[in-house]
Structure 1
Amino acid sequence: MDEALLEKIDAALADFCPMAAQSFEPAVSIERQLTLVPEFVLGKSQEDRPGPFSMGLIAVREFDMYGDRPELAALISDVQGLMQARLGLR
């Protein structure tokens, strides 16, 4: 599961990093959350998770609501679901 999750994160970051670099705030927030996830998956984070993940909600609102990029919203929602399952959250 960890390998599949990390691959999905890499795929999502490939899309979100360019948008975040242009200061598109929803992408900045999603990118920030995506960069935290591998630390928890790999057990490298010594810190508590900074609040609930909201990247799925942001992605649906910004990329799926108007049919713009539903596949990207689905990918982010999938990453969030896998991460929550990994951490025992739901």
Structure 2
Amino acid sequence: MQLRDTELLLKVDEALSAIGPMLTATWPNLQSIHRQLMWCRAQISGEPSEPRQGPLTMGLIATREFDMWGDMPELAVLINRIQRAFE
């Protein structure tokens, strides 16, 4: 794993740790972010994963959920940075 990959993996793990306590079956948008972050994590670490299910949308969802309507703009920025790294 290259340094860039290591740094990106740390960012993905940071985002997963932040949203983990909030995961519920009644918050499908957060489940979508979690699923996309897990896909990103698998790509970096070489773990098996599902094929990508279309374009990444976690940045848009995070902006809406954590910045526009929520109180966690830093988390939205982090997730957007991760998404940009995969585009």
Give the TM-score normalised by structure 2. Answer: 0.83
Percent identity over paired residues: 45
Instruction: Determine if contact 1:56/1:76 at 8 Å carries over to the other structure.
Output: yes
* Structure 1 pair 23–70 and aligned structure 2 pair: CA distance change class (3 A): same
- State how far apart, in whole Å, the 1-side matches of 2:29 and 2:49 are: 26
- State how far apart, in whole Å, the 2-side matches of 1:65 and 1:13 are: 20
* Structure 1: runs of 5+ lacking an equivalent: 85-90
Match of 1:31 among 34, 40, 46: 34
Using the TM superposition, name which of 60-69 and 16-25 deviates more: 16-25
Q: Deviation at 1:46?
A: 6.8
The aligned counterpart of 1:70 is 73
- State how far apart, in whole Å, the 1-side matches of 2:37 and 2:62 are: 12
Matched, 1:79 2:86: no
Aligned residues: 84
The aligned counterpart of 2:6 is 3
Match of 1:59 among 52, 59, 62: 62
* Structure 2: runs of 5+ lacking an equivalent: none
Using the TM superposition, name which of 53-62 and 41-50 deviates more: 41-50
DSSP-derived class of the 1:81 partner: helix
DSSP-derived class of the 1:56 partner: helix
Note the aligned Cα RMSD (angstroms): 1.8
Give the TM-score normalised by structure 1. Answer: 0.80
